[in-house]
Amino acid sequence: MKPLPLALDDLPPFRVPLRFFLTAPLFGVLAGIVVIVEGETVFASRWSPALIGATHLLTLGWLAMVMIGALFQVVPVLSGRGIPAAARVAAPVHLALTLGTLGLAYGLVASSPNLVALGLGGLLAAFLLFGGLLAWRVLRPSRGGGALVTIRFAVLALFATVALGAWMAAGIAWPSLGIPYRASTDSHARFGLFGWVLLLVMGVSQQVVPMFHVTPPFPAAIARGCGVTVFGGLILLATSDARLAVVIGASATASASLAWAIALLAVLAKRKRRRTDATVRAWQLACWVLIGTAPIAWQIAVVPDLPISFVARHQQALLLGVLVVLGFCVTVVLGMLQKIVPFLAFTHLQRRALKNPAAIPLLPAMEDFVSTRTATIQIAIHATAIALTIAAAFEPAVARAAGAALCVDFAFCAVNLTRAALRYRRVVASVAERE
Amino acid sequence: MTTISAFMTGDHRACDAQLADLESHVEASRWPQARTAWAAFGAAMRCHFRREEEILFLAFERATGGGGGPTYVMRMEHEQMRAAFGQLDVAVRAEDKKRVLALSESLMVLIQQHNMKEEQILYPMAEQLVEDGDRVVGEMQALRPESS
């Protein structure tokens, strides 16, 4: 094969993002195994070590893993130039993130300060290396609309999340430091989930949903206002305990989340492409979960002792965590992955075949890598896993069933993505035979 | 006078809507309408490519002093899409519903990631670098899709 011309370097080699995408579901399976092994104790309290460990297997091992892999791909599209030395830094970032997540999660589950310290080292290496290169590309001043502004807020929230997380992990790893780490938990979780993930999803969705599903654009007030309102609310909540600050901060975050979810559902309802594929289903599922979550998040922050609340006080944070992490964040990423991997396989093959038109009829479509049917089944399995995990937050006896559902959910994903990658290799080989 | 970004982004959206029309007709097995939609989409895309390759990219390359870089990648992606049009044409002629929908999904994603690069990077750069933007837009507007 002839080497590709230099100007094609805007698209990193498939193996760069693929290693992240193929590893991520394995961490989801691990989270399921933790829930099965630890059983009822997982959902006994928000401070249960197994729950915190499983949560980080999902947030770092699944969410951060896929998002970093996808950013290697998306940054060239958004900024015109790729992550510097993408092909060389991908392997060390991937290794550091994998070992760091395993160390931290196992250290949290087993309450081992040494493993938490090891995990902290790996994660800091991964985030500093990747975050530094990313900031180099994305934070430079350039023109940009509402989407880019929202994405910048998301990156700031990511810094806050990592800094608070590192501070807390240091408190666990070295107890003699006397860091009151529990006090930072809410801010860490809020910045990570409502800041980094939700803001990034808001910014990206107003860009990609109208394009890929041929919908009208988001209403201007939503496109410009939601991101800044959520970010302002989070800052207020993180910096003040005053009653007024909590009411305003929680109301701002909850109402902007609600407004964005309703706007996205409305925009999707007006889409010109009527085909309902797995990605549309995933967006709809995530929006409905967020519509259910926002009022609960608001109530927990503002009136935690509301007598008519259907959730007992000790279950509130548990339920909120399950809804946001598994119901919203994991769902959005799972839906996108059903399209990203087939598309990358398709486009890399197509570029190879351009030099060799005889190979073009051999090219599979995206559908041939992950079929619409398979992807739709994936979202249905995931919805079942969410429902069972919500049930487990109320009734810990259901925990093992929820853990099993999580294992099936992510194992199904791992098998399908691996099959897509293997099919890609087979087609590459058959195209090469004709060169 | 409309800007390069506004005019070309509008052109993208019009083409997207035509591809969505093709999909709806194929999904409902309305093949005569599907063939008409396919012809209209093809004409609109060819016109859009000519607007870029024969007018906008040349102006951009004159302003930046070379044919490498962004326009090289954009031209190559146009070739990718032309290859996909060829595959789709075979499937539309054969009235192979499953294959048309599979290929149109792939083409839609290919088009959108390409459009994103143009709308985020290339068009804004062209507006800054190309001096007589109004004339370029005028020339592009004068180029119309051939009726088929």
Q: What is the pLDDT of residues A304-334, one digit of tens each?
A: 887 666 777 778 889 999 999 999 999 999 9
pLDDT at A4: 30
Interface list for chain B against chain A, based on CB atoms closer than 8 Å: 16-17, 19-21, 23-24, 27, 68-70, 72-73, 76, 79-80, 83-84, 86-87, 99, 101-103, 105-106, 108-110, 112-113, 115-117, 120-121, 124
Partner B contacted by A15 (CB < 8 A) = no
Q: pLDDT band at residue A8, thresholds of 50, 70 and 90?
A: very low
* CATH annotation of B4-142: 1.20.120.520
A6 vs A391, more confident: A391
Nearest to B24 among A212, A274, A346 (CB): A274
Question: What is the ipTM metric for this complex?
Answer: 0.83
Q: At what angle do helices A65-79 and B97-117 cross, to 10 degrees?
A: 70
Query: pLDDT (tens digit, 9 = 90+) per residue, A194-242?
Result: 999 999 899 889 888 988 888 998 999 998 899 999 999 999 999 998 9
- Rounded to a whole number, what is the distance in Å from the CA of B130 to chain A's nearest CA? 17
Q: Across the interface, do B116 and A78 touch by the CB < 8 Å criterion?
A: yes
Distance of alpha carbon B51 from alpha carbon B62, whole angstroms: 16
Query: pLDDT (tens digit, 9 = 90+) per residue, A108-154?
Result: 999 999 999 999 999 999 999 998 887 777 666 555 555 677 878 88
Report whether A69 contacts A340 (CB < 8 A). no
Indicate the DSSP class of residue B53.
I
How high does pLDDT run on average in chain A? Answer: 89
Partner B contacted by A77 (CB < 8 A) = yes
Q: Across the interface, do B121 and A80 touch by the CB < 8 Å criterion?
A: yes
| A7 pLDDT above the threshold of 70 | no
Which two three-digit tokens encode residue B52? Answer: 């870029």
Report whether A12 contacts A82 (CB < 8 A). yes
Query: pLDDT (tens digit, 9 = 90+) per residue, A167-199?
Result: 999 999 999 998 898 889 999 999 999 999 999
Report whether A330 contacts A300 (CB < 8 A). no
Cβ neighbourhood burial of A289 (10 Å; 0-12, 13-18, 19+): buried
Report whether B24 contacts A274 (CB < 8 A). yes
Q: Which of A63-77, A368-382, B93-107 has the lowest average pLDDT? A: A63-77
Nearest to A346 among B69, B106, B115 (CB): B106
| A419 pLDDT above the threshold of 90 | yes
Mean pLDDT of A266-282: 90
Query: pLDDT (tens digit, 9 = 90+) per residue, A344-378?
Result: 998 888 888 777 777 777 788 899 999 999 999 99
- Name which of B19, B64, B120 to mutate to probe chain A: the one with the most chain A Cβ atoms within 10 A of its Cβ: B120
Query: A216: how many CB neighbours lie within 10 A of its CB?
Result: 12
- Name which of B24, B98, B109, B114 to mutate to probe chain A: the one with the most chain A Cβ atoms within 10 A of its Cβ: B109
Q: Cα torsion for A373, A376, A377, A378, to the nearest 10°?
A: 120
| A159 pLDDT above the threshold of 70 | yes
Query: pLDDT (tens digit, 9 = 90+) per residue, B42-99?
Result: 999 999 999 999 999 999 988 887 766 788 888 988 998 998 899 999 999 999 999 9
What residues of A are in contact with residue B129 (Cβ under 8 Å)? none
pLDDT at A142: 55
| A101 pLDDT above the threshold of 90 | yes
pLDDT at A354: 77
- Rounded to a whole number, what is the distance in Å from the CA of B23 to chain A's nearest CA? 7
Q: Across the interface, do A7 and B79 touch by the CB < 8 Å criterion?
A: no
What residues of A are in contact with residue B116 (Cβ under 8 Å)? 77-78, 207-208, 211
Q: Across the interface, do A143 and B105 touch by the CB < 8 Å criterion?
A: no
Nearest to B102 among A8, A272, A367 (CB): A367
